[in-house]
Structure 1
Amino acid sequence: MRTPMPSVEPDEIGWLTEAQMVEVDRVMIEELQIGLIQMMENAGRNLAQLVLQRFDPSTVTVLAGSGGNGGGGLVAARHLANRGVDVSVTLGQPVEKFGPVPAQQFEILQRMGVDTATDPPRSDVVIDALIGYSLTGAPRGRVGELVAAIGDIGGRVVSLDTPSGLDVTDGSVPGLVVDADATLTLALPKVGLRDAVQVGELYLADISVPPSVYDAIGVAPAPDFSRGTVLEIATL
């Protein structure tokens, strides 16, 4: 049974382009000293919460890319495993190509004994954490293969920040794209998600961005997370 999340109307919050989200990340890391590992932990914990509360799965497959988006998926895998879910992880790149923080998250999962599979197993829910907001052309290589196969892996698909393959600024699809049942976007929603059918249900997660950061880049209003760290954005 679906457990409702607190909701917010689309016009009650600001919406970001890719360039603005890059600036949010820069301010967080360089000026406020709120590091990637902290934001990644917040993203992954909220993603696990959404998956459990919305779909209550027994099995979850996490598809993780090599960047911050993949790291958030790996954090979610840890939280889900800690809650008794049977979790399997498939990487979109060899771990040697991962950034330092996502690589550390993968090492934690290995130490925990979380399953890693070259061929992702079927599961109740698939987490798409392959490509974040910095899309550069159509998904290709192993990531493209996983995007193409995602519909055959699980019953429900939950994307982190954006369905992989979707341009978050203009909503265009340069090639393969994930068709998600739900998307958990981070900080503020991205403008390209607003009319994209691939998004499914749209949720927003608190990753601890202070409202002053949005004020500094001229995007308002900031979301009110006082009712919970995950908000459902009402049907657009």
Structure 2
Amino acid sequence: MSSYIKKIHSDYLNISTSQMIEVDRLMIEEYHIELIQMMENAGRCLAILAKERFFNGDVEGKNIVVLAGTGGNGGGALVAARRLHNWGANVKVLVTAEEEKFTPIPFHQYKILKRMGVSIQLADKIKTIDTPDVVLDGIIGYSLKGNPRGLAAEMIHWANTQKVPIVALDTPTGLDLTSGTRYDTIIKANATLTLAMPKKGLFVEDFKTIVGELYVGDISVPNELYREKSLGLIPDNMFRYSDIIRLY
């Protein structure tokens, strides 16, 4: 296994999405670790996972399609797109909405890619895209509310028909970890990189065929934060050997 990716037992402490929302709040409001920093770490881990797991450490000349929504999940995927482009991949980004619909920090990532000349298109062009070597799913994360529709649904249907590996960021789009709902329109991932700590819903047996291989990536949450009373967790330095670890 790559030196970037280690494996630990999958019975490691996991958290609910409500606890993860509290982690995000504490990161920003109490520890002053900004969303843009967390997003950068998430995207870096996603890019490394795709490179190491599916391309044996070298993406030079590989065709990678990045599917991005307008929120935080999409922003992490846009960071991964930048990294993969820098490493020599042919990256195409497809987005669910025009740039004015992006929230501010993901839009910051969007503007960087645009300045770099990376291909960014609205997802209504998705049927014109040639078959890639891998697809990254950054459409909707744990903010999912209901069955994906519109361009998000088109992206999901397209990705699932490509017969290439799909790597999902945080959770496959269409899997609602808050309610435990698996929607009809859902990404069928080969690998999922969840962030900071594994979410309880990802260990539900019926969901494992959707999640694929489960990894967790370090977004630099301090162990001291996990000791906050509002979380009720017992921290463990699980990233001491690697920024990315495999859970199953």
Considering the TM-score relative to the shorter chain, is it more than 0.5? yes
2:98 corresponds to 1:94 = yes
Q: Name the counterpart of 1:42.
A: 41
Q: Name the counterpart of 2:146.
A: 137
SS at match of 1:87: strand
Structure 1 residues 141 and 223: alpha-carbon distance in aligned structure 2, compared to 1, 3 A threshold:
farther
Q: CA deviation at 1:116?
A: 1.7
Per-residue CA distance 1:149-189 (angstroms, 9 max, x = gap): 21124611000000001011353213311000000000001
Identity %: 47
Given that 1:188 and 1:223 are in contact with CA atoms closer than 8 Å, whether structure 2 keeps it comes out as: no
Q: CA deviation at 1:213?
A: 1.8
Unaligned runs of 5+ in 1: none
Structure 1 residues 223 and 183: alpha-carbon distance in aligned structure 2, compared to 1, 3 A threshold:
farther
Given that 1:137 and 1:175 are in contact with CA atoms closer than 8 Å, whether structure 2 keeps it comes out as: no
Q: Name the counterpart of 1:212.
A: 224
Q: CA deviation at 1:3?
A: 3.8
Give the structure-2-normalised TM-score. 0.89
Q: Partners of 2:119 and 2:157 in 1: how far apart?
A: 22
SS at match of 1:123: coil
Unaligned runs of 5+ in 2: none
Bigger drift between 136-145 and 179-188 goes to: 136-145
Q: Name the counterpart of 1:7.
A: 7
Which amino acid is the alignment partner of residue 94 of structure 2? T
SS at match of 2:227: helix
Per-residue CA distance 1:21-74 (angstroms, 9 max, x = gap): 110000000111100000000000111000000011511100000101000000
Q: Partners of 1:176 and 1:107 in 2: how far apart?
A: 29
Q: Name the counterpart of 1:231.
A: 245
Q: Name the counterpart of 1:22.
A: 21
Q: Name the counterpart of 2:120.
A: 116
